[in-house]
Structure 1
Amino acid sequence: MASLHPTTPDVYGPGSHTDKTFTPVPEETQRIFNLLVSETPGFTNNKNALSKVRFEGDEFPVLPGPIKAVPISSALHAMTGVIANEILSQRDLPESESVLVNTTQVGFWFALVGLGYVGGENVLSLVKQQKTKSIVPDFEQGWYDKPIKYRGTSIYPTKDPKVWYAIHGSLAAEPMLKSMGIDTETPCNSNDEAWERIAEYTRTKSPEELEMFNVMNGNCGSICFTPEKWNNSEMGKALAARPFIDVRPQSHAAPTPRIAFPPVSSNDRRPLAGIKVVEMTRIIAGPVIGNFLASYGAEVIRINAEHLIDINVMQLSLNTGKRTIGLDIRKSEDLDYLKSLIRDADVFIQGFRINKLPKYGLGVNDLLTMAAERQTGYVYVSENCYGTSGPYAERPGWQQIADTAAGSASVQGRAFGLENGESVLPSLPISDMTTGLVGALGAMMALRDRARHGGSYHVHSSLVAVNTTGLRPEIGLYSPDIVKENQERFKWAPMRGAHHVFELLFNVCDGWKQYFGQNLDEDSGLFSSFEKSAFGEKKLSVLKPCVMMVGVEKEGELGWKTGSVPYCFEKKEDVKWASAA
């Protein structure tokens, strides 16, 4: 397959593969769609079903850098549409005439958490002015209320002049920084001053010393590997042994019969209508799985814990179509209630480390026991940083750590012409969003297969796997000429290793605003609006789903019936499945 896509090696460092010619984004997306379909175990090979897929959008990339995030994600969006058609057929509903994905809209989708409106005001404007606390409940616990905390998540130089290192404060940077002996008490006057204070320490340590220190102390961190270094590591080899879209039938479990999809309602004919989902996740990747399934019609109840830090602005978009409750599973009554919800659910989504939930009776094998008892299989969806096996499977990690581990940040830095190995994060929460999309696609495939064959399924999506997929030779990277032309077109401000993902997001959205202008306005047709939201009863607008199932009746259109709500919005005693209410 690699020979069919000619690339030049090592343009952006060892293990990188750069296209020799440029193909417009919609056409390139079709090629990548065909590739991913051919490589995904259990995906349909029905030519008629695949021929319904169409891509449209700007011919030129809309994101900075060489990584083909938009074509990859657009292909995955289309794959969900293909599975949705199969599910519609299983439910004796007419399939769509075509599955249409606008690739430019997928680019905007990566900025979902910022591209919205509350009471007519742009969400990013609210964030920049630090006005979100007046609109949403505060779950942040001051995680970035001073520069040293904010720069506790960043990329730093090391004693090796050509290797950089990423640290991540896990939304509570001070304990990590103190463990490194870094002064967090003396005020810093700016983010730059805070970055330099931390850099003074990291420059005295080799990348290996920083890595071992963080492993020993349970901190998040990663060497900024090149793609070659990651692929040749034991961690990289373990991850590469699993498919990108990883759906695992649990054939070792007690058998459970085929379970037909619920009866079709006259007022909701979306593909997943009547499917019950329990989501227990934080931040972005996990919530995107539930958000996506909700847009296809699933009933999603999201669990949050009030003692865990989260990011306030996420409440405006990632809870669309969901109900939310607060639980503390360290308390027996809350854990019992959660298990009662799961007992009647079809899908359980969790975003914790591999061995975190089994001690609460919420691991894969625990749900397989419940499946045998109720004689109905489960779809268990998990997402994490490094995958389910290998030396780092249990290590904590976030989007930024995955981007640096796999080599994406190294490639991005080289593409921007930075010297001495300076690495730069991809400009948006791309791996977070795409990991959520992969989890949702896997869940839909598993639900389809449960109806066909019975049984339970474990779906896993990995942040690092998203990055490694984007760096494969079969995918390719955009050439330096395309990266330069992109920079000239959108006039991005400089992007550096010190920059936080929020700063990069602001940068990209500023470039889009000056280039696309009114096409990103609230009334542009890109947004779904809810006139009275749970946020002060203000009008709330969020980006529409990127998949259009062309030709379905109105009751089958994708989207959300309800707007987003805050975390822990309802009391647990008031929340029941709609079919049981």
Structure 2
Amino acid sequence: MGAALSPDDIAPPDPDRIAGAYRSDRHLLVDGEAPDVWSSLSRFWRTGDGWVRTHGNYPHHASALRAGLGLPLDASSGDVSTRLAAMSAGEAREDITGAGGLCVVVHREDPQRDAMLREHPLVQTRRLADSPVRPLPSDSTTAPLAGVRVLDLTRVIAGPVATRMLAFAGADVLRLDPPHLPEPEWQHFDTGHGKRSALLDVALEASRLHRLLAEADVVVLGYRPTAMRRLGLSPELLAERHPHLVIAQLSAWPGADSPRGFDSLVQAESGISWLESADGSAPGALPAQVLDHSAGYLLAAAIVDALHGRARSGGGWYVRTSLRRVAAELLGMPRGEHPVVPAPRAVLTQEFDVAGRVVTTVAPAVRWPGSPEWFAPPRPWGGDPAEW
């Protein structure tokens, strides 16, 4: 990633490592037990004319889902099921998203739309600003990103996977989370390796955020593009104020107005869920959060390329991908007639002590000559100061 490596020095990717990493949430143990990673409101539901998929892992999303359906905040999943069965899929989507919840209609595959999406790069890269050349601080092959500062403004899986990989390569990653929106513990344990974790309300402490950005090399944005614009943190405004930055952005759907979304919702909306149906009558899901993990690794690689571009010719750079664009790529690949149940693979795991919790996680997906064998452990969520 930093100093040049000969192709002869690099071992081919290990399928077992990659498969294990893509299912890292399935292999995670906390104090010897697998955490419950899905809310009862994150699932497929039958409606009067089809199916919808909802996501309610975060309490505020679960509350919005119930409110959108006109149900009390303590309504059970059975109440939700009864209500949705009496609605059309389109009506359910409109009512739930209108209240701030997350819901998509489960669609069939649209090959023409996917082909149009594949006309655009899998990861978009462009120069946004002019600034002096900044050589990479390290020429080490062991920790090629040592000295590179990455400000992580992402949540859930895709963005944190990208920054986890940058931290594994030696980058100084500082993740910021809003104090009022705790991250589920298991999610932090699954993707928080090697990063410092701090709490900062960027809406109220903009000047503090910009001081951090002034000293950063990379900022990774995982919140909705419209929310970033509202906070004055659109890529264009960031590049104008901090022309040295590599700005990386992830969203659920392409475009500057991508609504909220998660891997499971994009699978459902794109047609993947019907392709993964076990019986053709009810939708299914991929055996891993493939869109999240693929987007994370792609974005990490694009960030490294942009850092090399800045080292060669200067400038501020912008890289972006979306879960839906990754889905279109997946849908364009060869596939069999029926879903394949993956054979069990050997999984390399590591064990950490994180603030008194025993956390077992998978090994890194990729390595290179001299790289560490394991991730550095996650730190307690929100336990670090918001400073470099």
CA contact (8 A) 1:152 1:177 kept: no
Q: Which of the numbers 218, 231, 254 marks the counterpart of 1:387?
A: 254
Give the aligned length. 386
CA pair 440-213 structure 1, distance change in 2 beyond 3 A: same
CA pair 105-559 structure 1, distance change in 2 beyond 3 A: closer
Q: Which of the numbers 429, 441, 445 marks the counterpart of 2:305?
A: 445
What TM-score results when the alignment is normalised by the length of structure 2?
0.89
Write the distance in 1 (CA, Å) between the matches of 2:359 and 2:115: 44
Partner of 1:247: 125
CA pair 225-353 structure 1, distance change in 2 beyond 3 A: same
CA contact (8 A) 1:545 1:558 kept: no
Q: Which of the numbers 315, 324, 337 marks the counterpart of 1:455?
A: 315
Larger Rg: 1
Write the distance in 2 (CA, Å) between the matches of 1:151 and 1:449: 45
SS, match of residue 349 in structure 1: strand
CA pair 259-222 structure 1, distance change in 2 beyond 3 A: same
CA contact (8 A) 2:93 2:103 kept: yes
1:95-131 deviation line (CA, Å, top 9, x unaligned): 761242111221111221342456xx54xx2425x9x
CA pair 394-245 structure 1, distance change in 2 beyond 3 A: closer
1:342-353 correspondence runs (5 A): 342-353=213-224
Q: Which of the numbers 263, 278, 283 marks the counterpart of 1:399?
A: 263
Partner of 1:410: 274
CA pair 168-561 structure 1, distance change in 2 beyond 3 A: closer
Q: Which of the numbers 130, 143, 147 marks the counterpart of 1:270?
A: 143
Write the distance in 1 (CA, Å) between the matches of 2:101 and 2:337: 36
1:246-278 deviation line (CA, Å, top 9, x unaligned): 22222xx3x22322111447xx84221221101
Partner of 2:133: 258
SS, match of residue 100 in structure 1: coil
CA pair 167-527 structure 1, distance change in 2 beyond 3 A: closer
Partner of 1:102: 14
SS, match of residue 320 in structure 2: strand
One-letter code of the match for 1:547?
V
Does residue 305 of structure 1 match 2:139? no
SS, match of residue 548 in structure 1: coil
Write the distance in 1 (CA, Å) between the matches of 2:255 and 2:199: 28
1:126-177 deviation line (CA, Å, top 9, x unaligned): 425x9xxxxxxxxxxxxx8xxxxx33222111222xx311122361312321
Q: Which of the numbers 359, 363, 374 marks the counterpart of 1:544?
A: 363
CA pair 315-208 structure 1, distance change in 2 beyond 3 A: closer
**How much is the aligned-residue C-alpha RMSD, in angstroms?**
2.7
SS, match of residue 88 in structure 1: coil
What TM-score results when the alignment is normalised by the length of structure 1?
0.61
Unaligned stretches of 5+ residues in structure 1? 1-83, 131-143, 145-149, 189-193, 491-511, 521-525, 577-581
Does residue 227 of structure 1 match 2:109? yes
Sequence identity percentage: 21
- The alpha-carbon deviation at position 540 of structure 1 amounts to 4.8
1:479-494 correspondence runs (5 A): 479-480=337-338, 483=340, 486=341
Write the distance in 2 (CA, Å) between the matches of 1:151 and 1:541: 25
CA contact (8 A) 2:217 2:246 kept: yes
One-letter code of the match for 1:286?
G
SS, match of residue 271 in structure 1: coil
CA contact (8 A) 1:258 1:453 kept: yes
Does residue 360 of structure 1 match 2:245? no
CA contact (8 A) 1:300 1:321 kept: yes
- The alpha-carbon deviation at position 557 of structure 1 amounts to 1.1
- The alpha-carbon deviation at position 463 of structure 1 amounts to 1.3
Write the distance in 2 (CA, Å) between the matches of 1:153 and 1:412: 17
Write the distance in 1 (CA, Å) between the matches of 2:176 and 2:8: 33
SS, match of residue 319 in structure 2: strand
Partner of 1:29: none
CA contact (8 A) 2:118 2:329 kept: no
Partner of 1:165: 52
SS, match of residue 227 in structure 2: coil
Write the distance in 2 (CA, Å) between the matches of 1:116 and 1:153: 19
- The alpha-carbon deviation at position 237 of structure 1 amounts to 7.6
Does residue 284 of structure 1 match 2:157? yes
CA pair 244-297 structure 1, distance change in 2 beyond 3 A: same
SS, match of residue 24 in structure 2: coil
Q: Which of the numbers 70, 85, 93 marks the counterpart of 1:181?
A: 70
CA pair 249-170 structure 1, distance change in 2 beyond 3 A: farther
CA contact (8 A) 1:382 1:461 kept: yes
Does residue 127 of structure 1 match 2:35? yes
Write the distance in 2 (CA, Å) between the matches of 1:455 and 1:329: 25
Does residue 470 of structure 1 match 2:330? yes
One-letter code of the match for 1:127?
P
1:513-569 deviation line (CA, Å, top 9, x unaligned): xxx5xx44xxxxx23455xx3321x665432222232xx3xxx31456731112111
